[in-house]
Structure 1
């Protein structure tokens, strides 16, 4: 009896896919901090190379540039933790005042409804009684807390990665003694490193610009905890599409219930929303160029997939993971068609590197 090799191959692929997703779900507690640590490791090495360009007497990354990078990341993490600790409690303590303002606003809305249709509609005040403001704001602050969670475990992983990276080149040579195979592996690693670092740098820059300008808008309106909301906008902008929507709606909702009037709400909604549109649809694509040739539809699918598997962390990591998959698939003939499907325009053009550039990733 002749076996159908094609059917066997398809079955094995299906079983392997099921196995991978099972591991991703079951191993969430272990894999999520590890993936976050990997991103931080990428950022530290990228900052190290940036400091190399800034410091005149340093020709290549060394212990000094690495130390400066670690200190920079440490300051940012300390600021983030302090920001969350100082503001989450204040936001929750203000919820009773916001609830009262929301009730007063509903009374004003009732007064604006014409008398002839007033009796046919349910009173806004009655509808408001079914809306709980506390869970909304608490839920948002929980999102921010979740972003900072497991930081100790993540930092331990990062420390070990930094300690081990000095032996990376030797390990690659031992694993792939054949020069051709080693060059192919190094090419994949270099392209992954370059594209992810490009994404992280540009996203950090555009998110910082968005957060700063949004801060001035919120401060001008007089919204409570403007620094906290600006920092939240900075973080949420790393989540494609959905993050920008959440980052616009929550400060606007706060303005609505804080001031008991509609004008500040519309100013924040339009102001912050306009900033998101201009930075996200004009500045960011211009800076990105063709460096990340990923289909927007694939990005949304990846956001949904990784968000359902790994939650908030998965949303943050969805784009870097997709970029990694595209590059890996593009380097193998059998999976090249998958990379084409993941790409934005169907082209898979990667810059060619010299042997020295390929091995530079080992540092």
Structure 2
């Protein structure tokens, strides 16, 4: 009896600690959601700064002055944002123009399919009597809002770019500040540098792979004559940050547009293009460049999409996997929390540092 009571007390204490930790997590997430409109621009700026840290170091090693190298990266990133917005605006305007054609083709498909079902003696209730489609005026209004949002783009993106520039300026002195702040904690500094290198490596490789995915998909769709190829290329590049699920979501609209606009054979060719690109880059090239498995469990991916989407909205869903991947790398870098990183992984392989 005496040995049983201490064991019971320890179990009770552990359960209370877990409950308090869960309650603290809920409070933190609620606070993040409340100030998400403030954090989102800085979150985007932080990811841009991490991705641009290697080229910044490369320019500085070749004698380019620090402020000039930051200005160059600021200009390149700003120009890239501007060109992406123009491409999206042009695609939205083109989609608004061709929306009646695709709506008519889709309605014709449903009528033919309903007649085929009736001819085979199957119940007509297998297909709904009417298919809910967005009105052409709605699509045109969205395109008009996007086309007129160029000034709003400049205002909303300026904060992200300014935060990005100041983070790059801070990155030049961050290592020295870390050494000065923790002079007697060499092991902690080594773990911190190892964690930052892992984050740099992951984000740079993932961004390069996503860019390559978007470029190859865009070239292939343009060559096949698929409408809105630039839009589908941007979507494929952005959703490549989401393993497996993102590739499937990105392929669906392009395949449907190809089938309705050109034909079923071309739709299958577009599907084959997506499968080939994502297999070659996501399953072969990325793991080879990463050097070791950095995959997340599919359940963790789904939970991260729901969680970060709830906290930060659409931007949170886009950055959900990179955010969760950074959390996993942070857990892997410490022996005390490595078990949690292993549980988040898609394999049972132990991480070695």
Is TM more than 0.5 here?
Answer: yes
Q: Distance in 1 between matches of 2:351 and 2:126?
A: 58
Q: Which region of structure 1 is more displaced relative to structure 2, 187-196 or 291-300?
A: 291-300
Aligned to 2:320: 318
Aligned partners of 1:41 and 1:162 also within 8 Å: yes
2:39 is the counterpart of 1:31: yes
Q: Distance in 2 between matches of 1:97 and 1:116?
A: 29
2:19 is the counterpart of 1:44: no
2:21 is the counterpart of 1:10: no
Q: Which of 75, 88, 91 is 1:87 aligned to?
A: 91
Aligned partners of 1:188 and 1:328 also within 8 Å: no
Aligned partners of 2:305 and 2:321 also within 8 Å: yes
Aligned to 2:3: none
TM-superposition CA deviations, 1:76-111 (whole Å, max 9, x none): 212112112222222123212211122233344455
2:158 is the counterpart of 1:152: yes
Q: Distance in 2 between matches of 1:134 and 1:64?
A: 50
The CA deviation at 1:233 is 1.4
Aligned to 2:350: 347
Aligned to 2:108: 104
Aligned to 1:187: 190
The CA deviation at 1:248 is 0.4
Aligned to 2:307: 305
Aligned partners of 2:56 and 2:70 also within 8 Å: yes
Aligned to 2:244: 241
SS in structure 2 at match of 1:329: helix
The CA deviation at 1:134 is 5.3
TM-superposition CA deviations, 1:91-133 (whole Å, max 9, x none): 1232122111222333444555573426x42596x64x32315
* Unmatched 5+ stretches in structure 2: 1-5
The CA deviation at 1:185 is 4.1
Residue correspondence of structure 1 range 108-187 to structure 2 within 5 A: 108-110=112-114, 112-113=116-117, 115-117=119-121, 120-122=123-125, 127=129, 129-133=130-134, 150-169=156-175, 171-173=177-179, 175-176=181-182, 178-180=183-185, 183-187=186-190
CA 1:207–1:14 in structure 2 vs 1: closer, same or farther (change >3 Å)? Answer: closer
TM-superposition CA deviations, 1:169-201 (whole Å, max 9, x none): 45435543x422xx3443343233222222222
Aligned to 1:211: 214
CA 1:131–1:256 in structure 2 vs 1: closer, same or farther (change >3 Å)? Answer: farther
Q: Distance in 2 between matches of 1:100 and 1:299?
A: 37
CA 1:85–1:24 in structure 2 vs 1: closer, same or farther (change >3 Å)? Answer: same
Aligned partners of 1:295 and 1:345 also within 8 Å: no
Aligned length: 335
Aligned partners of 1:41 and 1:158 also within 8 Å: yes
Q: Distance in 1 between matches of 2:250 and 2:287?
A: 19
Q: Which of 256, 278, 281 is 1:279 aligned to?
A: 281
The CA deviation at 1:37 is 1.0
Q: Distance in 1 between matches of 2:35 and 2:22?
A: 20
CA 1:274–1:114 in structure 2 vs 1: closer, same or farther (change >3 Å)? Answer: farther
Q: Distance in 2 between matches of 1:319 and 1:225?
A: 27
2:267 is the counterpart of 1:265: yes
Aligned to 1:290: 292
TM-score, scaled relative to structure 1: 0.77
* Unmatched 5+ stretches in structure 1: 351-363
SS in structure 2 at match of 1:104: helix
TM-score, scaled relative to structure 2: 0.79
Aligned to 1:361: none
Aligned to 1:70: 74
The CA deviation at 1:292 is 2.7
